[in-house]
Structure 1
Amino acid sequence: MTTISKGGADYIGYEYKEKIVPKSMVSMYLDSYPCFGWEEDLNRTYHGENGYSGHIALRFRRDRKICNKTELTRLQRNFDGCVSEIEALERSKSSMPTMWALIVGIIGTAFIAGSVFAVTANPPLIILCILLAVPGFTGWFSAFFIYRILLQKQIEKVAPLIEDKYDELYAICEKGNRLLV
């Protein structure tokens, strides 16, 4: 005959959240979400990729009767907003240099196309072909260096803004952690 014991902890009702995050921010979320009352859901530990390139699904749970729930939720939304801004700033590092490198490369391609048309003309215009090929190859060759120079300038410009956002994230997490204690 089996006996049923009534000992143990009381029942805790949880609310669940699945968050799809970039691979580069997984540690940030796993370290920061506990400051808002969330804990990693150990019942569902799968962290594999889920169809979004470079993103991972994290699963969290939180006590439904947690104190200061509305304020923690507000802080969590601020945290998510700051993370989105950091991601946008990270993308902006390479977007402008890429755009300029592509423009220079396309202009170089236009010169090469003109060079090809000049050499295939009847009679072939060799001098014009050479005159158009030189800026064309220069455009192709210089696109890489333009990208590298502009990327370095953009990184120097954006790095302080990203650091400020990280400082804001840490302040938000500290506020959330104080509300939990």
Structure 2
Amino acid sequence: MNNTINNNFVGYDYKTITTDSESVSMYLDGFTNFGWIVDDNIQTNNINGKVTLKFKRDRKILNKTELTRLQRHFEACMLELSALERSKASDATAWSLVVGFVGTAFIAGSVFAVTNDPPHILLTILFGIPGCLGWLLPYFVYKSRIVKKTAMVNPHIEQKYDEIYGICEKGNKLLKN
């Protein structure tokens, strides 16, 4: 039995990234363009929608400085992309909460009017109607704000994807040199 042992030592850099499960494929595809390979010794764990990825790369890779610069630009673009995606819902949530709080204030006014001695029924009705609307409208406000914000943000998201693809392409070309 002839076992050959490869005596060529390879030192590795290691990198760990925790991201949303929706971004895993982008990180896996992107980091391969900067010389990183998935570390097979460690499995990814999915906790609360977050995934931890482990990578390794040869320490003596050619063009390491430029690849690292491109990789940092890639990571910054991915963070911006994530922030743009979150901004869709955060704007809509803020608007619907404001409408709900205003509705709650009107309901509180209605309750105070009815519990007054003597009760002010007309005031209760006047405060109750906008209060009920303030509790019914947040869903529709949320949906309409999501549509508006998505239409506003999607061109920026597409632009960011194009930038990411350009960065990955440059990294891939450096690896092939």
Relative to the length of structure 1, the TM-score reads: 0.93
CA distance in 2, matches of 1:89, 1:12: 40
Q: Describe the SS at the equivalent of 2:33.
A: helix
| Equivalence map 1:1-181=2 (5 Å) | 7-8=5-6, 10-44=8-42, 46-50=43-47, 53-181=48-176
Amino acid at match of 2:120: L
Amino acid at match of 1:48: N
CA distance in 2, matches of 1:7, 1:22: 40
Amino acid at match of 2:45: G
RMSD over aligned Cα atoms:
1.5
Q: Describe the SS at the equivalent of 1:59.
A: strand
CA distance in 2, matches of 1:62, 1:7: 22
Percent identity of equivalent pairs: 52
For structure 1, which runs of at least 5 residues remain unmatched after alignment? none
Relative to the length of structure 2, the TM-score reads: 0.95
The structural deviation recorded for 1:54 is 2.2
Amino acid at match of 2:10: I
Q: Describe the SS at the equivalent of 1:61.
A: strand
CA distance in 2, matches of 1:158, 1:124: 50
The structural deviation recorded for 1:57 is 0.7
Residues 4, 12 of structure 1: alpha-carbon distance in 2 compared, 3 angstrom cutoff = farther
Amino acid at match of 1:141: L
Decide which moves more: 79-88 or 12-21.
12-21
Figure out how many residues of one structure are paired with residues of the other and give that number: 176
CA distance in 1, matches of 2:85, 2:170: 26
The structural deviation recorded for 1:8 is 2.9
Amino acid at match of 1:113: A
